[in-house]
Amino acid sequence: MALLQVNDIASGYEGVQILWGVNLKLEPGKLTTLVGSNGVGKTTLLKTVMGLMAPINGSVFFQGEDVTNLSAHARANAGMVLVPEGRQLFTEMTIYENLEMGAFSHRARANFKQNLDKVYELFPRLKERTRQKAGTLSGGEQQMVAVGRGLMAEPEVLMLDELSLGLSPLLALTLFEALTRLKKTGLTMLLVEQNVTMALAVSDYAYVLAEGKVHLEGPARELSKNDEVRRTYLGI
């Protein structure tokens, strides 16, 4: 059974429909990526799945339960965690304090020290600068904090919106390597990413969104060899 299942989701902003009947499944322990051009609805889908936007139509199931009408807070408590585009850190707070903000649920608070150690093991640079204000960090370091804050919530599924946006190739590679390490722990993830080459390289399964609909889907390695994907998104 899929850990997260999106059924026929339609959604949009202020009367403008962006998504038109999107279906998507996340298999437990797999890294799934969602790619597509700017403006096709990738972030809209994440926000709708997370409960930050109400769907026009369709349903969202998490761990076999219908969560379509649950608040974003309730979904987060259930184990759905979103690392948003743009990081959205508390810039005047330290790295440690930002990570602490992620441990909001009862189960996350109970395992705070253990989860903090895991984040610092994944991103040693954060441990070295734990008392530094988030607003003084580089873009890559801020993204590490954003991912770390999501992990502090003990997610059952971690959704990441534009992981490498605005980062140097080296820092982007560091973050993609972190995703590979997280995947080995059995964490289920959904990645929205502009760097299609890297996203397909680290993912198990992929969806291509176009004009608010799923245009293509399949194992990531197969899609990376698809002529249309190679021409449109990989520049080949």
Domain ranges in the chain?
Answer: 1-68+188-236
Question: Looking at domain 1-68+188-236, which of 3.30.360.10, 3.40.50.720, 3.40.50.300, 3.30.470.20 is its CATH number?
Answer: 3.40.50.300
Q: What is the pLDDT of residue 192?
A: 95
Residue whose entry in the numeric block shows the structure tokens 């520049």: 235
For the record, the structure tokens of 202 come out as: 């680290």
Q: What is the pLDDT of residue 232?
A: 81
For the record, the structure tokens of 159 come out as: 């959704």
Amino acid at 73: H
Does residue 137 surpass a pLDDT of 60? yes
Instruction: Annotate 11-47 with b (16+ C-beta within 10 A) or e (fewer).
Output: bbeeeeebbbebebbbeeebbbbbbbeeebbbbbbbb
What is the share, in percent, of the chain residues with pLDDT greater than 90? 81
At 235, is the pLDDT very low, low, confident or very high (cuts 50, 70, 90)? low
pLDDT in tens, 184-231: 999 999 999 988 999 999 999 999 999 999 999 999 999 999 988 888
pLDDT in tens, 21-66: 999 999 999 999 999 888 899 999 999 999 999 999 999 999 999 9
- The mean pLDDT of 74-79, rounded to a whole number, is 94
CA dist 106 and 109 (Å) reads: 5
Q: Cα separations (Å) of 221 from 134, 197, 208?
A: 36, 10, 13
Cα radius of gyration (the chain): 17
For the record, the structure tokens of 156 come out as: 């059952």
Find out whether 70 and 48 touch, Cβ atoms under 8 Å: no
Does residue 234 surpass a pLDDT of 80? no
pTM: 0.94
Kindly give the pairing relationship between strand 205-210 and strand 31-35. Answer: parallel
